[in-house]
Amino acid sequence: MRSSECWSLLSLVLLTGAAAFKINRGPSMDHSEITQMAILDVAVRTCRSLAEAEGRDFVFPRLPLTVTHVIAACDAVESTKSFQKAIKSIQRKNKRVDIRRLFNAAYHFDDETFEGGRKIITDGLAIIKASNKLDNFKAAREKLGEITHPLQDFYSHSNWIELGKEIPNNNLITVGTKIGNIDLARPTCQNCVGNDCTNNILEDIIRDQILTTGYFDALLSSKPAGKCSHGGRFDQTSDDEPVGGINKDTLTANHGHLHNAAAQLAITATIQLLDDIRGAAGDTDFLRMLGISKGSNKALCFVIDTTGSMADDILAVKAVTASIIDTKAGTRDEPSLYILVPFNDPDFGPLRRTTDPNVFKTWLSALTANGGGDFPELSLSGLQLALTGAPPGSEMFLFTDATAKDIYLKDTVIALIEQTKTVVNFMLTGSFIFSFRSLLDNNGNNIPRTGRMSSPESQLYSELAYYSGGQAIEVSKDELSEATSIITESSAASLVTLLQAVRSPGKDESFSFSVDESVRNLTIYITGNVLNFTLTSPSGVSQSTNSPNESLATVKVVGNFRTLQINPTVGIWEIMLLSTNPYTIKVIGQSGIDFLFDFVQFFQGASEGFDVLENRPGAGGNGTLLLTLTGSDSGTVTDVSLVEASGSGEVNGRMETLGGGEFLAHFDTIPSVEFVVRVKGNTDSRSKASTNDFQRQSNTQLKASTLAITTTFDSSILEPGSSFSVPFTVTTNGTGGNFTIVATNDQGFASMVVSPVELADGGSANGTVTLTAPLNTPTGTAVTLTIQAESPGSTDTNYVVLVFSIVARVTDNSRPLCQVISLTANCTSICSQSTWVVTANLTDANSTGIERISLQQGNGTLNTSTVLGPDGENVTLVMYTASCCSPDFELVAVDGAGNVGNCFQTIREPVSATVGPPVTNATTSSSTTNTTMSSSATASPQMLSCYYFWQTMFAMLGLMVTAPC
């Protein structure tokens, strides 16, 4: 059985009979389910390809395919949360098209907008590929979610299925090709007969294979004469002749009898799109885009002051980095990404990212401490760059001995912390109670300090640390090396927070936290001048500050920072802190059980449901949280509370289970002060045993606002040298007045915004931010724009954060071409004792040239060389040799524009003769062969292997049988 036949049969089984794969809340399939199924499929095959390339065994995941099962098969359990987060991000952007682009026909392939719909897909595909090339994975994911919606809608809103098509329309992701046989002037439909719309498409349209779509309008009943409607209760055009519709969105839609077929092709088409992106990015970077990586999937991120007095600090950073790299290399705690952002005055940056620890060591070794001028430095500018360039949910460390010169960025930094849920730790040396060393000028001469960091000035760093759930650690320069132990602990994999609180001013208080059986490496951080503590275990054993032995915890104190390393025992722990000075407490451990959360808003109309808020929730009213439990397919969430970060107040939510590990928590009111989210649950929904109970808490402090700031910016390709305008709306449910608008971006692009904005009580106003990308902006550059609204008197703020990609217009749309020249195979019954050889020529018709060649299937030996062809073009000669035990070969060639070409060859059919002459030079490219090959992404990448098909079928039947492939 060929791979394509296997895939078609498997897809049909999954869509029509495999209830285990049904993860949506109704019998019909929705965009979220279609998207997740496609992502899980491609992720599995990519992990398998990497395993084969590295000579590792790969065990296909057990069914049903879930995030947990796929991550286990990929041997990347530490990536569970980030993989889930990536999928949710893509699904959210896909769903948002129905909310913000409902009346843009091209985003849904309504109104026969074929070229417009394809342009959205292909422009987006170019942005994704360019973004991935520069490791801007967040921008790539957001655009991916946006373009999968029209791609999937094509199969529900057009008559592609009615025309008898059983494979995707490959031309939707290819520029310059014919989408189909289109005649916009031709009538396409007739009236439905009562409720029966199964035969409302005209017979001659089907006979002549004319491609059409339905028309949709929720406000007007207007469409061209004789055209099909979308249909449904919100489509006003469906009441005009010809009445009815042709959409297949649900099983009860006008053409609902074809819903499963449309969903099947939507999944296959999404897989095809993902495989094209995978081919352009390469397997490793494709998985990184999906949040899957080796090691801890945590970034080791340093933001470092490089002024003259920081020489000792930089040495300490180098030492701790070398220790982390040397001790964690090859382990599950090895960071998957390293980020460095230096700052000085008047310069900061650039941000550097690498997956190679030795490269990171080289960057650190090259850092020197000099200059600085006046005392304050551009610390917040460096932090802003790090927050926009690091993966969401990162933990970063900022080293400085100076105040912030750019304190005006404080609200921007807080907005980015809230939006990215990043933890920021500040390593403050020589400040507060310690003397500063002299600055050094470029010639090594001493420059006296013009000031010192006072307590009010340093409060900024403490406040930012509190917001993010990090620490503001104050130590002398001599103590810094000892204090950097927090970096080693924080770079561990699968860190979770069990408890976190801020007390300013301090007070005597007892805190309790629940430790479940999944938690290991339990640590308590206490920052501040705490006089005494008493720690009590679940069994009642206690240890206090002055205990002669460390029965429960190993205690270490450096500067204002205290750590308690605990051997975790399951149950309820308590710790009493005695201090009138401000302090923070944070309890962390390692566990696979954690949660994702976002506030949501509900909407009704032609598209009903909820959308994730991307800024602060509204103050003075109710609110709803969407939670996703990660690391457990059988667990449940029982309690969710909004807990005051600096007090004891909390608001409990009413729980609603959505299925698939998702829950809604409804709150009657949102706290008026900063708060965190606390979640309690059980890791096994079938058991109520206390050992399965868990408690987790968010790091980031949140706050409600009486302001709302929204934007409907439609980001197509933004080219270097161009200006673009971002419209926004500011609304207040409080007192009006002059509201200040501040717009900042992390790339330093020139921008212009009208400010202040005059609002009436409870009113709203519109504004525009104009941004200009310099002509020399590298294609694929991501720019993060933060727009903030501030009320009169600075009593309230809110924000919106947008990410755009700057991409040069793609003129090369031709895929690299592959021509198989020869195939030699003489395989025997003992496959390990024989080999087969395939040779091929690869060419690129345009000037960008072939940039990368890699194996996507096969674990043989690949050799390449380049020669000039008969017309002076570059020709890449390929020779692949493999054992007959590895019968499939698939080659991926990527040109400079990201176009992907594939060569596929198999010896599953008996072959005992040489096909075509062996290649000797480029002139043999005209040889004729009868081998299987492809010059596009359509032949094999989107197909499951025959082996995977049969193993899946046998697993569904409960059989342990080897695949007959």
pLDDT at 926 over 70: no
CATH number at residue 345: 3.40.50.410
Instruction: For residue 793, name the pLDDT band (cuts at 50, 70, 90).
Output: confident
Task: For residue 598, tell me if it sits in a domain.
Answer: no
CA diameter of the chain: 92
Residue 690 has a pLDDT of 54
Instruction: For residue 799, name the pLDDT band (cuts at 50, 70, 90).
Output: very high
CATH number at residue 904: 2.60.40
pLDDT one-digit tens code per residue, 832-846: 889 999 999 998 876
Instruction: For residue 372, name the pLDDT band (cuts at 50, 70, 90).
Output: low
Whether residues 473 and 549 fall in one domain: no
Q: Which helix (H) or strand (E) holds 854?
A: strand 850-857
Residue 943 has a pLDDT of 33
- Of 492, 518, 534, the one marking the end of a domain is 492
Whether residues 75 and 165 fall in one domain: yes
Which string of DSSP letters, residue by residue, matches 7-46? HHHHHHHHHHT-GGG--SSSSS--HHHHHHHHHHHHHHHH
pLDDT one-digit tens code per residue, 336-357: 899 999 998 888 989 999 999 9
d(CA 400, CA 480): 11
pLDDT one-digit tens code per residue, 479-493: 888 888 888 888 888
Instruction: For residue 62, name the pLDDT band (cuts at 50, 70, 90).
Output: confident
Both tokens assigned to 394: 């990162």
Residue 634 has a pLDDT of 84
Q: Is the dihedral of CA 416, 418, 419, 421 positive or negative?
A: positive
pLDDT one-digit tens code per residue, 571-623: 999 999 999 899 999 999 999 999 999 999 987 766 677 888 988 999 988 99
Tally: H helices and E strands in the chain: 17, 41
Task: For residue 530, tell me if it sits in a domain.
Answer: yes
> Cβ neighbours of residue 559 under 8 Å, at least 6 residues apart?
473, 474, 475, 476, 479, 483
Whether residues 865 and 843 fall in one domain: yes
Torsion angles phi and psi, residue 320, rounded to 5: -70, -35
Residue 648 has a pLDDT of 84
783-799: average pLDDT: 92
720-735: average pLDDT: 91
Task: For residue 566, tell me if it sits in a domain.
Answer: yes
475-501: b or e for each residue (b if 16 or more CB lie within 10 Å)? bbbebbbebbbbbebbbbbbbbbbbbb
**Residue 947 vs residue 388, higher pLDDT:** 388
pTM: 0.87
pLDDT one-digit tens code per residue, 355-366: 999 999 999 999
d(CA 474, CA 428): 5
pLDDT at 923 over 60: no
Both tokens assigned to 588: 């962390």
Q: Distance between the two ends of the chain, CA-based, in angstroms?
A: 8
Residue 632 has a pLDDT of 86
Task: For residue 716, tell me if it sits in a domain.
Answer: yes
Residue 467 has a pLDDT of 93
The answer to whether residues 329 and 493 touch, using CB atoms and an 8 Å cutoff, is no
Going by the DSSP 8-state scheme, the letter that residue 328 receives in this structure is H
pLDDT at 20 over 70: no
Specify the number of domains making up the chain. 6
Whether residues 623 and 510 fall in one domain: no
d(CA 466, CA 586): 11
Task: For residue 953, tell me if it sits in a domain.
Answer: no
pLDDT one-digit tens code per residue, 656-668: 999 888 999 999 9
Task: For residue 959, tell me if it sits in a domain.
Answer: no
Domain extent at residue 244: 3-289
Whether residues 333 and 465 fall in one domain: yes
Whether residues 150 and 197 fall in one domain: yes
Task: For residue 942, tell me if it sits in a domain.
Answer: no
Q: What is the CB neighbour count within 10 angstroms for residue 655?
A: 16
Residue 481 has a pLDDT of 87
The answer to whether residues 366 and 112 touch, using CB atoms and an 8 Å cutoff, is no
Instruction: For residue 521, name the pLDDT band (cuts at 50, 70, 90).
Output: very high
pLDDT at 202 over 90: yes
pLDDT one-digit tens code per residue, 67-111: 999 999 999 999 999 999 999 999 999 999 998 888 899 999 999
pLDDT one-digit tens code per residue, 746-781: 999 999 987 778 889 999 999 999 999 999 999 999
Whether residues 99 and 248 fall in one domain: yes
User: Per the omega criterion (within 30 degrees of 0), is the bond before 917 cis?
Assistant: no
**Burial of 826: CB neighbours in 10 Å, binned 0-12, 13-18, 19+:** middle
33-48: average pLDDT: 95
Q: What is the mean pLDDT of the chain?
A: 84
pLDDT at 951 over 50: no
pLDDT one-digit tens code per residue, 776-785: 999 999 999 9
pLDDT at 902 over 50: yes
Q: What is the torsion angle, in degrees rounded to the nearest 10, for the CA atoms of residue 276, residue 282, residue 286 and residue 289?
A: -120
Instruction: For residue 914, name the pLDDT band (cuts at 50, 70, 90).
Output: very low
Residue 963 has a pLDDT of 42
Whether residues 37 and 163 fall in one domain: yes
Amino acid of residue 17: G
d(CA 728, CA 742): 12
pLDDT one-digit tens code per residue, 686-720: 545 556 789 999 999 999 999 999 988 876 678 99
Q: Is 282 left (phi over 0), alpha (psi -120 to 50) or beta?
A: left
pLDDT at 551 over 70: yes
pLDDT at 961 over 80: no
Residue 107 has a pLDDT of 96
Residue 768 has a pLDDT of 93
Whether residues 574 and 442 fall in one domain: no
Residue 442 has a pLDDT of 42
Whether residues 841 and 795 fall in one domain: no
- Of 591, 606, 630, the one marking the end of a domain is 591
882-903: average pLDDT: 89
823-839: average pLDDT: 89
Both tokens assigned to 78: 């530490």
Task: For residue 17, tell me if it sits in a domain.
Answer: yes
Residue 789 has a pLDDT of 93
pLDDT at 224 over 50: yes
Whether residues 129 and 206 fall in one domain: yes
**Residue 856 vs residue 785, higher pLDDT:** 785
Instruction: For residue 430, name the pLDDT band (cuts at 50, 70, 90).
Output: low
Residue 26 has a pLDDT of 56
d(CA 623, CA 614): 14
pLDDT at 183 over 60: yes
Going by the DSSP 8-state scheme, the letter that residue 861 receives in this structure is E
Whether residues 23 and 104 fall in one domain: yes
Pick the closest to residue 437 from 472, 402, 461 (CA basis): 402
Q: Which of 50-54, 161-165, 188-192 has the lowest mean pLDDT?
A: 50-54
Both tokens assigned to 297: 């999937």
